[in-house]
Amino acid sequence: MRTPEQILGPYFPMQIEPTASGDLTKLDGGSEPAQGEIVQIGGRIRNLEGEPVCSAKILIWQANCFGRYSHPNDLTQAPLDPNFHGFAEIASDSSGAYRFRTIKPGAYPAIAGWMRAPHVHFEVIGQFERLITQMYFPDDPFNASDRFLMSARQPDLLIAQPVPSESNSSCRELRFDIVLARG
């Protein structure tokens, strides 16, 4: 099935350039790492026929580990992390694979009585279409009450899968495959 659409969100990055390295854990030219749990996220972008979508442009944006975006309209009381702006642009390779490093974003209040589950926003621009979606973290306690996740036709398609580590990696690895209709 095609990966479900999700909202663009109110905090699409403004006034900052996306990181091109695929490593959101440190700013270009910065010496201090971002605060929070480091995660490696990767997967494949394919069409409904299972064919890889190569050279897809992927924009990624997210809140910091405290649940705050580097955006002028995010007025929550959560602190900003001066070493994290949470915005990157990468591309899929010839097999449709992509990979990036980031930190697990924090949950944040959306409206009274509702906390958004930690999530990463994706905008995927393939050869024939554009998909805006969100990736959620496995076993997060806020997933079951996240209105956007629960309103998706198949919410399980939006939850990343843990990747068993074969090395002594210091970070958790997750797999999030994305399916476009035509690619």
- Active site (annotated) includes residue 147: no
83 burial class (0-12, 13-18, 19+ CB within 10 angstroms)? middle
Q: DSSP letters of 79-121?
A: PP-TT---EEEEE--TTSEEEEEEEPPPPEEEETTEEEPPEEE
pLDDT of residue 27: 85
pLDDT of residue 168: 67
For the chain, which domains are there? Answer: 38-180 (2.60.130.10)
- Active site (annotated) includes residue 71: no
What CA–CA distance (Å, rounded) separates 165 from 140? 20
Handedness of CA 69, 71, 43, 5 (dihedral sign): positive
Q: Taking the CA atoms of the chain, what radius of gyration do you get in angstroms? A: 16
pLDDT of residue 165: 76
Q: DSSP letters of 22-52?
A: SBTTS-TT--SPPSS-EEEEEEEEEETTS-B
Choose the catalytic residue: 46, 68, 119, 136. Answer: 119
The pLDDT > 70 percentage for the chain reads: 98
- Active site (annotated) includes residue 46: no
- Let me know: does 40 contact 167? Beta carbons within 8 Å: no
Choose the catalytic residue: 44, 68, 69, 71. Answer: 69
- Whether the per-residue pLDDT at 115 is higher than 80: the answer is yes
pLDDT of residue 87: 95
More confident residue, 27 or 122: 122
